[in-house]
């Protein structure tokens, strides 16, 4: 792989994605798949002015062994030193960078009820710390290829050939070729223009319809807004949460979803794939699920807490997006969610409320922002998907027709 391109990609992650500020600490999460590139990102962070960069390494086979051999209590316990690390994060507000490279099937074979219950228990302990930094720091999720992941995406290739192919796919779809900074500035401007149009329509509901059986109505909050591309912290620092990102999204109103929606891509959850599934909603809540693969895992997912069976996000992504046009299934939510329109179960986004910082957490929930320990995107976009907005006075606003923007 061309080292000049990788250097620009590392700089894109540090300076545009996380937008590291002078004197700020950085917390970087990475697997063992591309240590040389991790070092490039670390250097790019220091060159951007980082005070300290800490890397937390992970290795899926070890995580799988923990899941197999640890008992329930040990697996779900968040130790005091882990809590101290989380509190340090709250106190110092580092920008956080995630470099994803995991095998989508990495945790297959773990006793699922034990593992799912343990992750739910851990999430409840960790969540208050994460809530405490929400919208107060920058974060960025990007990707690097791992061998197992690459061979899943390119089943006809092996080893380095598969890794090289996935590198090319990641860099192309992440707009990391040529002049990445200029490319992202132009892309963000296009996304913001679409947000401005939708936010001017005073929408109160979304209607989804597709030939696969999707028929769904989702209510929206009067106070909600559509967001896309770069975001800003409460302190005004701009950052790019996802590289790549093609979505325009909002948080729907809890309790207002009726109908059935069908998935169009596999969902990777807790190291396993859930495939060909549908969800039935009534009064905002999932009341029935069906899946050809891992239905029990899907059922456990929506039972993780009270909010896990309610929607937290509605996102628009055209089928003309670069990721979808690549013709690849990435088996990774970062990419697959930016290849197709999607919904998310679980936690909603506070910053999808206009002037969200003037509300208390209780007030945001009273307005209809769902809360949960999970936020799991699942893809519903397809070539014949129609999405129509409904305004407060009943006007029907075409948003998507035949899988693409209608405006």
Decide if pLDDT at 296 tops 90: yes
Give the residue among 145, 110, 116 at the shortest CA–CA distance from 33.
145
pLDDT at residue 3, as a whole number: 94
**CB-CB contact of 273 with 104 (8 Å):** yes
* Number of neighbouring beta carbons within 10 Å of residue 396: 9
Residue 206 pLDDT class (50, 70, 90 cuts) = very high
pLDDT in tens, 43-70: 999 999 999 999 999 999 999 999 999 9
Quick one: average pLDDT of 171-177?
95
pLDDT at residue 381, as a whole number: 97
pLDDT at residue 344, as a whole number: 98
∠ CA 86-344-312, rounded to 5°: 70
pLDDT in tens, 132-154: 999 999 999 999 999 999 999 99
pLDDT in tens, 216-229: 999 999 999 999 99
DSSP 347: P
346 vs 305: CA distance, rounded Å: 9
pLDDT in tens, 153-168: 999 999 999 999 999 9
Decide if pLDDT at 1 tops 90: no
Give the residue among 96, 77, 86, 172 at the shortest CA–CA distance from 137.
96
Quick one: average pLDDT of 265-287?
95
pLDDT at residue 155, as a whole number: 97
Is cis: bond before 77, omega within 30 of 0?
no
343 vs 309: CA distance, rounded Å: 12
pTM score of the predicted model: 0.90
Decide if pLDDT at 112 tops 90: no
pLDDT at residue 371, as a whole number: 97
Question: What CATH number should be reported for the domain whose range is 3-173?
Answer: 3.40.1830.10
Residue 113 pLDDT class (50, 70, 90 cuts) = confident
DSSP 221: -
Radius of gyration of the chain (CA): 20
Helix or strand (DSSP H, E) at 238: strand 238-239
pLDDT in tens, 347-371: 999 999 999 999 999 999 999 999 9
Decide if pLDDT at 271 tops 90: no
Range(s) within the chain of domains with CATH label 3.40.1830.10: 3-173
Residue-averaged pLDDT of the chain: 96
Decide if pLDDT at 208 tops 90: yes
pLDDT at residue 398, as a whole number: 98
Instruction: Give percent above pLDDT 90 in the chain.
Output: 97
232 vs 137: CA distance, rounded Å: 9
């Amino acid at each position: 792989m061309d080292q000049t391109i990788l250097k620009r990609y590392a700089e894109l992650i540090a300076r545009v994605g996380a937008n590291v500020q002078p004197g700020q600490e950085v917390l970087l999460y990475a697997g063992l798949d591309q240590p040389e590139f991790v070092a490039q990102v670390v250097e790019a962070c220091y060159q951007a002015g980082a005070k300290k960069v800490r890397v937390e390494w992970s290795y899926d086979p070890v995580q799988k062994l923990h899941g197999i051999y640890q008992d329930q209590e040990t697996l779900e316990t968040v130790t005091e030193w882990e809590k101290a690390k989380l509190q340090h994060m709250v106190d110092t507000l580092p920008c956080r960078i995630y470099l994803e490279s995991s095998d989508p099937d990495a945790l297959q074979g773990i006793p699922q009820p034990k593992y799912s219950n343990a992750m739910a228990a851990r999430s409840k302990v960790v969540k208050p710390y994460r809530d405490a930094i929400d919208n107060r720091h920058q974060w960025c999720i990007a990707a690097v290829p791992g061998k197992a992941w690459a061979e899943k995406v390119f089943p006809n290739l092996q080893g380095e050939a598969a890794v090289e192919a996935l590198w090319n796919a990641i860099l192309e779809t992440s707009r990391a070729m040529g002049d990445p900074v200029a490319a992202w500035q132009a892309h963000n401007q296009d996304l913001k223009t679409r947000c401005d149009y939708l936010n001017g329509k005073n929408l109160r509901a979304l209607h989804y319809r597709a030939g696969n059986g999707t028929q769904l109505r989702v209510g929206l909050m009067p106070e909600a807004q559509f967001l896309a591309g770069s975001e800003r912290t409460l302190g005004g620092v701009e950052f790019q949460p996802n590289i790549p990102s093609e979505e325009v999204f909002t948080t729907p109103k809890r309790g207002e979803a009726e109908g059935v929606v069908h998935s169009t891509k596999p969902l990777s959850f807790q190291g396993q794939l859930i495939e060909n599934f549908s969800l039935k909603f009534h009064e905002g809540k999932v009341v029935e699920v069906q899946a050809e693969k891992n239905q029990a895992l899907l059922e456990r997912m929506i039972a993780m807490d009270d909010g896990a069976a309610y929607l937290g996000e509605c996102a628009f992504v055209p089928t003309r997006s670069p990721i979808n046009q690549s013709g690849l299934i990435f088996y990774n939510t970062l990419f697959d969610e930016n290849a197709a329109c999607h919904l998310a179960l679980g936690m909603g986004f506070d910053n999808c409320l206009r002037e969200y910082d003037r509300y208390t957490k209780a007030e945001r929930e009273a307005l209809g922002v769902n809360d949960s320990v999970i936020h799991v995107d699942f893809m519903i976009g397809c070539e014949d998907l129609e999405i129509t907005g409904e305004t407060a006075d009943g006007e029907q606003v075409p948003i998507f027709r035949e899988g693409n923007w209608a405006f």
